[in-house]
Amino acid sequence: MIEIDGNSLSLEQVVQICRRYEKVRLAPAAEEPINRSHAFVNKILDEGRAVYGITTGVGELANTLISPDKAEDLQLNLIRSHATNVGVPFPEEVVRGIMLLRANALSKGFSGVRIELIQKLLDFLNARITPYIPCQGSVGASGDLSPLSHLALVLVGEGECIQDGRRQASVSVLREAAIPSLKLRPKEGLALINGTQVMTAIGCLVVEDAALLLKNAQIAGAMSLEALKGTSKALDAKIHAIRPHGGQVRCAANMRRLVEGSAIIASHVNCDKVQDAYTLRCIPQVYGAIIDTIEYVERVLQVEINSATDNPLIFADEEEVISGGNFHGEPLAFAMDFLGIALAEIGNISERTVDRLVNPHISGLPPFLTEESGLNSGFMISQYTAAALVSENKVLAHPASVDSIPTSAGQEDHVSMGSISARHAWDILKNVQQVIAIEFLAAAQGIDFHPLSPGKGTSAAHKFIRLHVSHLKQDRVLYPDIEKIIRFVKTGDIVRAVEAKVPEF
């Protein structure tokens, strides 16, 4: 059971709740500030004060006063009118992240909502209820308004859920789960939909997968280094000590451990070849920079998951309501654009390495990694697939955050497009997972042609791959092999096989 209080949630806990269905509850210490904040909203209503989103309209309609007796109607109207997202629905793990992070933000006690509303979100998580939230329609300020409105609809018994793979009316899903719907109080509709939790939920899952993908990429790169009879001299610690970017130093150390004891590399240590191509020689510099990028994104996300991001914010102790811009997704938009660019570079390096492996003019290996080329095409078209994926990534990696289209009659005249940044990073990640799978297969095939043994870590990876996919002696249908290795890339099975032999990797 994980407790949330708005201040101490970790990225690891987010993943546990999203993917492993860890139960969640509200920390008792969070109740008092939540209650104070809600009580002050009630005081505002009793005094008849004009406060944005409580007794006024929103956006361009902020100067339109709403009578106190219509305050609850306003909240329901907000979520109904704002639920306009389109496209395919977010998968369950993302929706769980959205619900968790919205509940955690509201738990900080600056949103004016009741404990009952937060508890309802936690009830959904614990009962594995998945609101239907289409993925397209947020401009990332004022937060993720439209997709969060689809979530809010389910709280009041409207909208839809995904149940058994089908869209179902939420009222029937809630009835079956014995969870009553909620009647929104003043400020609660706005508090539910004004935040960055969609882009942040995607970001938390993407950055988790990115770290695992980068481990896979280093293993595949080390295998390719051996298959192409590259040198390990470029991994020498002395080189990296005099340009000591943290990720570069760590990546070089990882690569040294992976190829430690390689008879293949030792066999040509005194050959005439002076330098390897950049795709082999510069892995620490490129993948190391990606390590640093992932750590930067993790820091941004760690701040965001414990932040209050709605508007206006309620400072009950000072009896003050402040309209600000914490809903603006720019910190997330920049981070996710940066992460997408970094992940695309993994694919760029990997695809170029696959090309070197299949190209007989530079590989020193049989043409297209097949014994009877001509009769067999071997891995020729696998490289085409990798090329197509990295080309697609070049479009996806264009920063969404450089664009802004004004909304709400110009009142919201600069928006972040952060949810687009997050979705693009997610798509790039999936493409690169597939490219790395192709490199794993090609590198394993290349190592097969060497009579000598690979290194300690690369040997473990090679044996694991060969346990599940046989050597390509004659042409066969390759997509099942690729799909199998993609699955191992995603689950981390190849990484675990290597870590059993190289635990410090």
Strands (E), 316-400: 320-322
**Per annotation, catalytic residue among 21, 52, 296, 479:** 52
Q: Quick check: is 21 catalytic?
A: no
How many angstroms separate the CA atoms of 10 and 453, rounded?
42
DSSP SS3 for 26: strand
Tokens 């407790």 -> residue = 3
DSSP letter at 314 equals E
Residue 440 near residue 494 (C-beta atoms within 8 A): yes
Residue 135 near residue 147 (C-beta atoms within 8 A): yes
Determine how many CB atoms are found less than 10 A away from the CB of residue 69: 8
Helix axes 11-20, 197-227, angle to 10 degrees: 90
Residue 187 near residue 180 (C-beta atoms within 8 A): no
Residue 408 near residue 318 (C-beta atoms within 8 A): no
How many angstroms separate the CA atoms of 21 and 142, rounded?
30
Helix axes 92-106, 115-127, angle to 10 degrees: 160
User: If you write DSSP's letter for every residue of 248-292 in order, what string do you get?
Assistant: HHHHHHHHHHHHTT-HHHHTTTTSS-----HHHHTHHHHHHHHHH
How many angstroms separate the CA atoms of 183 and 198, rounded?
23
User: If you write DSSP's letter for every residue of 176-200 in order, what string do you get?
Assistant: HTT----PPPTTHHHHHHSSSHHHH
Residue 201 near residue 18 (C-beta atoms within 8 A): yes
Secondary-structure percent of the chain, ordered helix, strand, coil, rounded to 5: 60, 5, 35
DSSP H helical segments within 156-245, as ranges? Answer: 170-176, 188-193, 197-227, 237-241
CA distances from 332 to 18, 27, 53 (A): 19, 27, 25
The one-letter amino acid code at 121 reads L
Residue 38 near residue 107 (C-beta atoms within 8 A): no
Picking from 150, 164, 280, the residue whose alpha carbon sits closest to that of residue 222 is 280
List the beta bridge partners of residue 161. 131, 168
Catalytic positions = 52
